[in-house]
Structures are given as C-alpha cells and as structure tokens.
Structure 1
C-alpha cells in the first residue's frame, strides 16, 4: 500500500492495530547494495520495464543491466552514479521512476540518455509533476490555498543560497503567510519527507532503515528534499 494512503487510513478505527499486526515493509532501496545497484529492487523494477520496451521497439539492449542501454552512466560525473542522482530526487518508490520517464516517448532524445538531457529536460518536467502529486497528497489535510502558502513559505526558506535552515526560520515563514498551526504543518512536512533533519548528515523519514526511527529534530536545521529544491530552482 502506498505510504500516503496509509497515512490517511491510520487515523480510522482499528487501523493502527491492523497495520502493526499485519504490515510488512517493502524496501525498494537498501543502502547495503549502494555499490552493487543491480541488486536494488528499484533497479530491478526499472530494468524489467526497460527490457520490455526495448524488445517491443527492436532496440539493442544490455540484457545484464538494461539501465545502461537507457541512461548513459558515463556522462555523469562526481561521486554519484546517474541512477543514484535520479533516485535521490524521488522518494525511492517505483511510481516516482515511472513519473520521471513518463514523457520519454514524446521527446526527441538520443539513447542512451545523457546527463545533460536528464538534468535540463527530464528533471524539470518531473519536478513539476511530482510537486503536483505532493500537493494532492497534502490536500487530505489542507485546502488548496493553505498548500500554496505552505509552498511559498518553503520557497522563502530555500532562499537564494539554497542552504539548510533553522526550525525558527520555518516557523517564522509559515506565520508570515498566515499559517498559525506550525507544529502540525512542520510535523506533516517531515512525515511526508518534504523536509529532513540536517546536522551535517541528512535524515529523511523515507530513508529510514530497518529498525531505525527518524524523528523530527526541532533543535537542529532542516533541508528540503532534492525534488523540492529542483522545483524552486527551475520555477522561480
């Protein structure tokens, strides 16, 4: 079950008991396989989709790792692979990867896709679509006007320098947009992983490992999820 749906249902009668008794988590990304990405469930998921589509179109494919026929890993520089760069802009969910590449058939891009096309074409479209989805998830608890004001406050926190920001800064910005229930709003933003803890290390709720509980730390700093940063950067 999608986590956003679970968040809505868990407030219903008996639901917490049902989830605690019968829930089994499915981890699509495990840090253990960071250096052997072909073993990640997310990579295996997207590889199956790539393989089917390439075969239907009669395209050459690396059957051992179809991803490398789809995305040019050699065009990415730095510590991250192209795959990690992309999924760091997701919430480690299959549907996020589907959303990222959903327009690929309508774009005139050469295969394998370069880092330039990922960052300058696909990323912008994806960020806008993802923010639309996020606003839809938030609509369970907030009306459209409140959601826009929340995003305006987050944009102000992001600012010009794109650095981590203090809890007090977020409270102040929310209040400046007429949002007084800051405790609930900040808790929701953290639970939805739109913001994460930052103390030199990053702590997002969606990145919890088995047995780990990432809790909101109002004494430290916050950082925006990469996809929110990208959205603000490309939609000023």
Structure 2
C-alpha cells in the first residue's frame, strides 16, 4: 500500500509517493508561473496552473515509482495559505487568485481594521491581527475594484482548499487555513460575524464549512 503527498506551493507542485514504512518510491515536480505585468504589489496565479502542475507532477511520480496506482490508499494535500480563489456557483474560478504575497490590498486592510475598531480591537475580538497578506482584504479588494466579478462570487476558497475541491467536489476549509483569512475567531474556531460584515453583510453565506483536516 502507498500514500501520495502533494505540496502545492507558490513556485511549483511537488509530489512524493511513499510506502507505509516511509520509503520513498517516486518523486514528481512541476513549476508554477506567476502572471506578469500586474500593478505594483500584485501577485497572482491562474488556478488552472496548479491543476496542470498537479497532473504532470503526479504522472512523473507514478512513472518513477513503477507501482500499481490501485495500491494508493491515501492522498494528502498541503498548499498555499492566505490566497483568494473566488468561485462561481458552478465551481469555476471567477478570476486569477491573489496570492499570500500580494500586497496590493493595503488600503482594504486599513478599511477593515478601522471598521473593527483598530488593531487592538481586532486582536481582542478574533485573537489575531489582520495582515495585508490575509484573505479578508483580498475579498474587499474584489468588491471595490472588480464589482462585476464580485457579483458572481458564490464561494470563497484558499488555494489549498481549491485543490481539495477540485479533487473531491467538496467546498470546505480547514481551521488552520481559516485562521489565515482574518475572518475566523481562532479561539472559538468559527467565522466572526462582525469581521465578515466589515466586508459585506452577505459574505457569510459564501464562506465554506469549517472542518478538521481529513
């Protein structure tokens, strides 16, 4: 029996195939490309890039491992946090994903923090502060800068969650990922209604169910 581990990072997708004694049987890798020509501070990738890389890296790893794919019984995924993958109702991305290292949302970060009563108030209410790279400001950026795209928003996912959604069809978010959105009370492990309303009163229905890793 074998397990496959996937790491989808900013620069590429890496895959390992191991047996249950920890022996590595196969490796695969395929790079990701950033979208060029964006405004200063912006960092974006097309989610299709991740899925193409996943398929190619997996094909390479299986070829190197020379195993029967039917013997794979576990498939684990790790990936980028903080990014924003806006999905339409049919599950397709509305636009490219703004990544964790996108700093074009400084203004939106300030707006949200001000609505929440300042940095100290934010920390008191959610247990964390709101960093520029967190997902919350990216959502507000889409609402302010691309209202037509925002009007199509059905589900908010992170890059890691999107890969899981692509593989399973389930729209959910792990608590660890959600802690980096700036929208979850990390003590109660639930979405924080006031922080959500600071962006959009109707946003809560577009946030996925929270869960433990599975």
Question: Scaled by the length of structure 1, what TM-score is found?
Answer: 0.26
- Which has the higher Rg, Structure 1 or Structure 2? 1
Q: Which has the higher helix share?
A: 1
Higher strand share: 2
Q: Which has the higher contact order (CA 8 A, sep 6+)?
A: 2
Q: Normalised by the size of structure 2, how large is the TM-score?
A: 0.27
